Structure 1
């Protein structure tokens, strides 16, 4: 009983620390989108520049996620990487407030992306090991979806807009270093030393034989990677251009824009844990299909909702895609591959999704917006979510409770899964 209590206690402590860590990653990542209307004129930036800045960060994120995630699996080193990464991306975010033009801002966004890339796969691999099977989806949803939504999209917009209006956009960037250093200390203080190192050394030859191509031959990994490309496009295009779209195309004030973006954040937080929790009960595949379809309606809401009040309500109801992220980018891959491959698989799915949806898509959308107008980005986002829903139909189910009901997993296997 004491062992179970200690395990549950550490499960909750780890969840809280990693919740703050990954949440602050998105606070920093999305800061540029929220502050872009304030710095656009001073730095003489266009929609194409915004798209390229988002793309550069995503490319760096993708590369480091794949490379460092695989390296951490082979070496069994995770905690030190998290600490260094949090400190580095916090410093780079703060340095964004000192830039004098596009090129210097681009440089700091690239370095920040390199630091942020491995945080998700490493955090989720730690969370999988510490999670009870019956709440694995919920834990990973809180870490991946709700954390990013709460800090990045609920707290982020009003705080950053208020700081920019009161002190200037540069000071808003610089202030972000303080919570980052605090979170690095929390990881150092409360996350247990790496326990994967011994297992990694025992199976190093086996782990080294696994290639990216080998992982992609597994049906679920390939499909999750394709879904990642599509839903990351849905998300990055939407989150990158919506603040500017609301101000310049829909004609809302900066404060109204901040409030509407907070509605997205609230929906992100709620759906971020509700969607994975639902998947624990009805299955990963039907959940992904349903909520990807709902997410496809969100860009249409932004285009056609008649006023700010109705827009806010509809955003709360339709911004469901971030709940799906936990499933295709973390839970399904983690339930598909053995323990020693989890960070590698998660880094692969996230990295290729970022490469396509985060690197290519925003640049294409930015140039399209300059040529055809900002509404075109909403149609790009909608089509991406629809394609993700279709692709999800072909996934193999991995939810332990669902497999147990179908007789595909014994009770003992369910209890010992991932432990």
Structure 2
């Protein structure tokens, strides 16, 4: 009993620390989008520049997330990597406030992406091991969905816009260093040390090496990777261009833009844990299909909502995608592959998704916006969510509660057929 209470206590402590960690990752990642209307004129940047800045960060995420995730599975190193990554990306975010032009900003955003990329696979692999089976989806949803929404999209926009209006956009970047250092200390203080890898002839049996190509031969892993590519397109294109779209195309003030982005953040927080929690009850596949279709309505609301009030309400109702992210990027893979391959699978799914949806798509969207207008990016985002819903139809169910009910039903039917 005491052992169970101790494990439950650590599960909650770990969730709290990793919640802050990944939430602050997105605070820093989204800062550029919120501050872009302020720095655009001074640094003489275009929509194409914004697309390239988003793309280089995503490319760095893709490379480091996949490589470091696989390396951590082989070496059994997670805690020390998390501490180093948080310190590095905080420094790079602060240095973004000292840039003199596009190229230096591009360099710092790229280095920051290299530091941020491993944080999700490392955090989720720690969380899945510490989670009770009945709340695995909820824990992973709070970590990946709600944390990023609360810190990155609810707290981030008004805080960053207020700092930029009062002290300038450079100071808004620089002050991000302090909370990053504090979070690094929390990880060092409260996350349990890494368990040593077993050595000797039995080690290869208990902890097999994870081969990314072998993982892609798994039905669910392949589908999750494809869903990641199109759903990350939905997210990165939407979150990168929405602030400038609201100001330049819809004609809202920067303050109104900040409030509307906070509506996105509030929806992100709510749906970030609600969608995975619903999937614990009704299954991963139907949940992913339903809420992907709802997410496709979000860019349409940005295009056609008649005023700020109705737009804010529609954003709260339709910005459901980040809850879906937890399912295809973490929960379903973690329930599909052996635990020794979790970080590798998560890093690969995130990495390929970032490569296509985070690197290629924003660059194309930026050039398309300069040629056809910013409205085109909303249609690109909508298409990504629709494709995700279609691909989700072919997933194999992994939710423990749903599988248990099916097993119970099968047993009951067999018993009923016995003479």
Task: Label 1:201 to 1:276 Cα distance change in 2 as closer, same or farther (>3 A).
Answer: farther
The residue that corresponds to 1:130 in the other structure is 130
Cα distance in 2 for residues equivalent to 1:341 and 1:99: 39
Q: How does 1:204-353 map to 2 (within 5 A)?
A: 204=204, 209-353=209-353
Secondary structure at the counterpart of residue 336 of structure 1: coil
Task: Label 1:106 to 1:333 Cα distance change in 2 as closer, same or farther (>3 A).
Answer: same
Answer whether contact 1:74 1:201 (CA < 8 A) is retained: no
TM-superposition CA deviations, 1:111-142 (whole Å, max 9, x none):
00000000000000000000000000000000
The residue that corresponds to 2:35 in the other structure is 35
The residue that corresponds to 2:19 in the other structure is 19
Secondary structure at the counterpart of residue 77 of structure 1: coil
TM-superposition CA deviations, 1:84-137 (whole Å, max 9, x none):
000000000000000000000000001000000000000000000000000000
Task: Label 1:221 to 1:254 Cα distance change in 2 as closer, same or farther (>3 A).
Answer: same
TM-superposition CA deviations, 1:262-308 (whole Å, max 9, x none):
00000000000000000000000000000000000000000000000
Query: Where do 4+ consecutive residues of structure 1 move more than 6 Å?
Result: none
Q: Kindly tell me the number of residue pairs found equivalent between the two proteins.
A: 411
Tell me how far 1:202 sits from its aligned partner: 5.2
The residue that corresponds to 2:145 in the other structure is 145
Cα distance in 2 for residues equivalent to 1:64 and 1:329: 16
TM-superposition CA deviations, 1:320-369 (whole Å, max 9, x none):
00000000000000000001000000000000000000000000000000
Tell me how far 1:212 sits from its aligned partner: 1.5
The residue that corresponds to 1:417 in the other structure is none
Answer whether contact 1:76 1:200 (CA < 8 A) is retained: no
The residue that corresponds to 1:357 in the other structure is 357
Tell me how far 1:207 sits from its aligned partner: 5.7
TM-score with structure 2 setting the length: 0.96
Tell me how far 1:388 sits from its aligned partner: 0.4
Q: How does 1:103-118 map to 2 (within 5 A)?
A: 103-118=103-118
Q: How does 1:43-54 map to 2 (within 5 A)?
A: 43-54=43-54
Task: Label 1:374 to 1:14 Cα distance change in 2 as closer, same or farther (>3 A).
Answer: same
Tell me how far 1:144 sits from its aligned partner: 0.3
Q: Given the alignment of the two structures, is residue 402 of structure 1 paired with residue 417 of structure 2, yes or no? A: no
Q: Given the alignment of the two structures, is residue 171 of structure 1 paired with residue 155 of structure 2, yes or no? A: no
Task: Label 1:199 to 1:279 Cα distance change in 2 as closer, same or farther (>3 A).
Answer: farther
Tell me how far 1:205 sits from its aligned partner: 7.6
Task: Label 1:323 to 1:6 Cα distance change in 2 as closer, same or farther (>3 A).
Answer: same
Cα distance in 2 for residues equivalent to 1:199 and 1:31: 44
Deviates more, 1:231-240 or 1:399-408: 399-408
Answer whether contact 1:74 1:200 (CA < 8 A) is retained: no
TM-score with structure 1 setting the length: 0.96
Cα distance in 2 for residues equivalent to 1:168 and 1:140: 36
Tell me how far 1:213 sits from its aligned partner: 1.2
Structure 2 unaligned spans of 5+: 411-419
Answer whether contact 2:208 2:340 (CA < 8 A) is retained: no
Cα distance in 2 for residues equivalent to 1:409 and 1:213: 36
The residue that corresponds to 1:70 in the other structure is 70
Cα distance in 2 for residues equivalent to 1:286 and 1:49: 38
Task: Label 1:201 to 1:242 Cα distance change in 2 as closer, same or farther (>3 A).
Answer: farther
Cα distance in 1 for residues equivalent to 2:44 and 2:201: 52
The residue that corresponds to 2:417 in the other structure is none
Structure number with bigger Rg: 2
Tell me how far 1:210 sits from its aligned partner: 3.5
The residue that corresponds to 2:415 in the other structure is none
Answer whether contact 2:209 2:340 (CA < 8 A) is retained: no
Answer whether contact 2:210 2:340 (CA < 8 A) is retained: no
Tell me how far 1:199 sits from its aligned partner: 8.3
Tell me how far 1:211 sits from its aligned partner: 2.1
Answer whether contact 2:210 2:344 (CA < 8 A) is retained: no
Q: Given the alignment of the two structures, is residue 385 of structure 1 paired with residue 385 of structure 2, yes or no? A: yes
Secondary structure at the counterpart of residue 297 of structure 1: helix
